[in-house]
Structures are given as C-alpha cells and as structure tokens.
Amino acid sequence: MTDTTVSRTTAEERPPTGVVEVGGAPLTVDDVVAVARHGAPVRLNPAALRAMADQRVFVEGLADDDRPHYGISTGFGALHGTRIPPERRRELQANLVRSHAAGTGAEVETEVVRALMLRRLATLATGHTGVRPAVAELYRGMLEAGITPVVREHGSLGCSGDLAPLAHVALAAMGEGEVVDAHGARRPAGEALRAAGLEPVVLAEKEGLALINGTDGMVGMLALAISDLRRLLATADVAAGLSVDGLRGSNLPFFADVVEMRPHPGQAATAANLRALLAGSAVVASAAAALDGADDAGGDGGGVPAPLRVQDAYSLRCAPQVHGAARDTLEHAELVASRELAAVIDNPVITRTGRLASNGNFHGAPVAYVLDFLAIAVADVASISERRTDRFLDRHRSDGLPPFLAHDPGVDSGLMIAQYTAAGIVSELKRLAVPASVDSIPTSAMQEDHVSMGWAAARKLRRAVDCLERVLAVEILTACRGLALRGGSTAPGVAAVLALVHGTVPGPGPDRYLAPEIDAVAALVRDGAIVATAADAVGQIL
C-alpha cells in the first residue's frame, strides 16, 4: 500500500487570504482561533480528499474480511472481543455515537465546539482514519454554516480522547441531538442541517469510532488559551509598568546589563517591555537616581521628595522574573500545541505502511500537562499583580498616596474592595492551579485503566484565563488612579494608557458604583486596547 500522507499545498492550490485550509500544512494556533472564534471560512485541500478516498478502499476491504478488526468488526473498549456480524456493522457505528453522547452539565462555549470540530476535521483529512470524504465535507459544511452541536461540560476523561464531547458532534452530523444555528437558536440537528442544505450522514464501518477518538477538545481549548495568554502576559507587563511608575519604583533592575546575567528569554522580553514603558518618567528617573546613590535624587518632577529606598519590593522588582517565567511556559505550551495540531489521533489508525494499528495516541497526557502548567503560571502572574494593587492602597507602602486611594478617607473607601475582589480571584486561581493531570479513574471494566483528565485541565484553564483578565483589570484601574493622584511627569507609554483608561472610566473622586468600572477596564484588557495603546506610544510590546 502506498503512502498517502498529504504534502504541503502547491502555490496554485493555496486558499485565498483569510481562508483556513485543512488537509495541507498542519493547523496552527492562529488557524484554530480564526475559525473557532472569528468564523473564518474553511477549505478542504483537494489532495486530502483524494487521500481519504484511497484509504477508504482499504477500510472497506477490511470490512469484508472474516478476521476481527477493532473498530470495524468488533465491539469497543472492554467489548473488543465481541465479534459483530457484517450486517450489523453500520448499526454498530451509529450505536457507538449515540451511547457515547453522554455528556451532562452546562453547555460548552461555541468557540470550543468549533475548535474541536476543526481539529477533528484536520485528522479526518489526513486519510489515516479511513473515513469517507463525504464525512469530512459535512463537518466543513457545518463549520461554514455556523451549526454548532450542543456539547456538555462533563463527560470527557481525556482518554480515549474527548469521547463524549466528540460524540455529541458526531450525533449532530447524524441528524440527531441538538445544535445552535448561526442565529443562536437551538434546533434539532437534522432540521438545522437540512435548512443549511446539508444531509445527515449515515455512518459506515469505522466512521463512528473515527469521529470520537481524539484529543480535539483539549487541544482546541489549549489553542484558544494560548491566544488569550499572548495578550494577557503583554498586558501584565503594561500593568506592572503602570504600577512601578505610580509607586515610585526604579527601572534599574530591568536594565539589560542585569537581565542578561540570567538568560531566560521570557525575562528578557518583559524587562525590555518595562524599559520601554518607563522611559521618560521623571518619577522613575528620580527613584532610580536615589537607588543608585546619585546626588540629584531630590524629587519626582512633581514637587514631592522621593523617599530613599535601597531597593523595591519583590512585586515591582521581580516582575520580569515572574512574568518571564510565565512567558517561557507559554512558549513551551505553544510547542506542544503545534505538535498536537500536526498529529493524527485515532484508534485504530491506518499507518503509512498500510497497516491498521491499534495505538495509544489518543491519550491526552502531553496536552494535559501543559494545560496544568499554564494554570500554575496564570495563578502566579495574577498573584504578583494583586500584590502590586495592594501596595497602592496601603498608606504605609504607597509613598504618600491617600489610604485606599480614597477621595476623603473614612467617608470614602476608595478602591478598598476592588483589592478584595482581586484577592478572592487569586485565591480561586490557586485552587484552579491544582493539577488535573495527576488524577486518573479507571473505566471500561479496567480496559481503560489510566486516563489523562486533559479535558478537565482545559476547562479549568479557561476559567483561570478569565480570572487573570479581571485581576489585571483591577491593577490597571488602581494604578491609573494612583498615577492621577500622584501627578508629576509620567512616561509617554504610561501616560497613553492612563489617558485611555480615564477616557473610559472616571478618574479619582468620591466613591461611586465600582463594578461597572472594573468591567469596563476588563473589556479594554480583553479586546487588546491596553497593549495596543502602549505599543502606539512606545513601539512594539513584546
């Protein structure tokens, strides 16, 4: 049997800009985000469809064979020793999907389901699963039509892949179960498919198993989290820059001659961001001069004497080390994601040598580990951010700012409870940082006796990312109020973000309803406006 692995597309076969092609080069994180979150159109590479047709011939030959072949002529899991007669093998596939669509709980977000569908489509398009081209075309059509199967929160152990979530998608492709259409309406799957001009599939041999046996949900959520964390870690650097300036910190620990002594790339990137953000600040220059023992360390440019400190607190001074470690963790996660997005996950799988091979590639351990690792990094970045927020609010540590940044302390509480909010979230993040991947519960009568819990790791990372966004919003809101109360000459990058924030929410003043202001700043974090505004002022934020 010849090798039908799909090669990269030729120039004339490449899709137009903005279209994500499946079945050529491996998917990237950006491809997943484009389709899952932004609705980018999907194209199936013609060579991939030809490869699928070739491999389907091989599967159909096995279907007519008297010997047992897992997934084709036998039962599943602990029932793998049960032979299925030829006349019932298609029924076997449909029943597999129906029985495995056993999720429960809250509905999973649309972007997660779309990411899962795209990743499963990419595996089908390799040809190594033995699925007919028509099945891949149906999945592509569902993505194009904005038809999103209803998938439930609970049901996957991350091994044999994300069985229950993928089964809910396959069930919808069969015209059963429920979907949400492009207009956000819940409808019976068959009705929605036909309204979009799509025919439900009648599964043939092996196809039910091939549709549910993958790590697609967990790697889809990993890709979405990577995209979010690229933005949030850059935002954390901006927030730290605001805080260093507002708390009269020094930028000397961020100088290249110090940072290069510990050659972690993430640390170097954060330090470079902080140098750029703080360049031109009279407050920081005065503090740096004081730390450096210079004779002219007499003021901050605003008429307030600078206190003499030998060195700043860790939450200011060690921002490059903490944020940088998170950046390096993210880089490792991106490497794992790129490998998983290039993988063919199915069991059994048709190898390049023409063999139907049982395997364990569906085990989610590689993805589960980095999902947990990222949750640890997220918790620590949020923790150091909350400590910077708290410094602004304590009059003994804020270098002359009013208690809690209140307009009239006592009558006004200022941002006291905003810090409570951040502290409560950080406490939750510590719980979310407890690894899911160290757990395992045997299933399927001990046939599947070790599982990854990667889906659970991905679900808690999504919550952790949302929590980090809100903790950073509280720090930015607090730092901007502190900067406004401090006065003096701030750095151009800091001043630009301060103008953005106080153009969105009011600056210092008497107490007012605070929750909408936190949400408004969180929205600036979420849409990338904080980082974009800083970058417009100082150049690229790494």
Looking at the chain, the number of H-run helices and the number of E-run strands are: 20, 9
Determine if the peptide bond prior to 440 is cis (ω within 30°): no
Residue 302's pLDDT is 43
Residue 290's pLDDT is 66
Residue 16's pLDDT is 55
Contact yes or no for 170/207 (Cβ under 8 A): no
Backbone phi, psi, residue 154, to 5°: -105, 140
Contact yes or no for 102/155 (Cβ under 8 A): yes
Q: Which of 195, 322, 206, 187 is nearest to 264 (CA)?
A: 322
Answer yes or no: 70 catalytic: yes
Neighbours of 311 (CB within 10 A): 12
Contact yes or no for 319/274 (Cβ under 8 A): yes
Burial class (CB in 10 A: 0-12, 13-18, 19+), 261: exposed
Q: Which of 389, 345, 388, 396 is nearest to 367 (CA)?
A: 345
Q: Positive or negative, the Cα torsion across 434, 327, 528, 504?
A: positive
| CATH, domain 222-538, list 1.10.3470.10, 3.30.70.20, 1.20.200.10, 3.40.50.2000 | 1.20.200.10
Q: Which of 492, 535, 442 is nearest to 77 (CA)?
A: 442
Buried b (16+ CB within 10 A) or exposed e, 433-463: bebbbeeeeebeeeebeebbbbbbbbbbbbe
- Residue 308's SS3 state is coil
Residue 12's pLDDT is 40
- Residue 244's SS3 state is helix
Question: Which pTM value belongs to this model?
Answer: 0.92
Take residue 48 and report the two structure tokens written for it: 């991939």
- Give the fold, CATH level 3, of 11-214: Fumarase C; Chain B, domain 1 (1.10.275)
Take residue 67 and report the two structure tokens written for it: 């010997």
Take residue 104 and report the two structure tokens written for it: 């429960």
Residue 367's pLDDT is 97
Residue 77's pLDDT is 67
- 70, 139, 420, 513: the catalytic one is 70
Per residue in 414-440, pLDDT tens?
999 999 999 999 999 999 999 999 998
The Cα–Cα gap between 500 and 507 comes to 11
Q: Positive or negative, the Cα torsion across 413, 415, 416, 417?
A: positive
Report the run of H or E that residue 275 belongs to, with start and end: helix 265-278
Positions of the chain with pLDDT lower than 50, given as ranges: 1-14, 294-305
Type of residue found at 59:
V
- CA 322, 323, 326 angle in degrees (round to 5)? 90
Report the run of H or E that residue 251 belongs to, with start and end: none
- CA 91, 97, 102 angle in degrees (round to 5)? 135
Q: Which of 359, 363, 313, 368 is nearest to 336 (CA)?
A: 368
Neighbours of 18 (CB within 10 A): 9
Q: Which residues contact 124 (CB under 8 A, 6 or more apart)?
A: 52, 131, 135, 136, 139, 210, 211
Q: What does the domain layout of the chain look like in residue ranges?
A: 11-214, 222-538
Residue 292's pLDDT is 65
The Cα–Cα gap between 77 and 512 comes to 60
* CA distances from residue 426 to 15, 36, 90, 389, 498 in whole angstroms, order as listed: 44, 29, 51, 12, 25
Residue 419's pLDDT is 97
Residue 371's pLDDT is 98
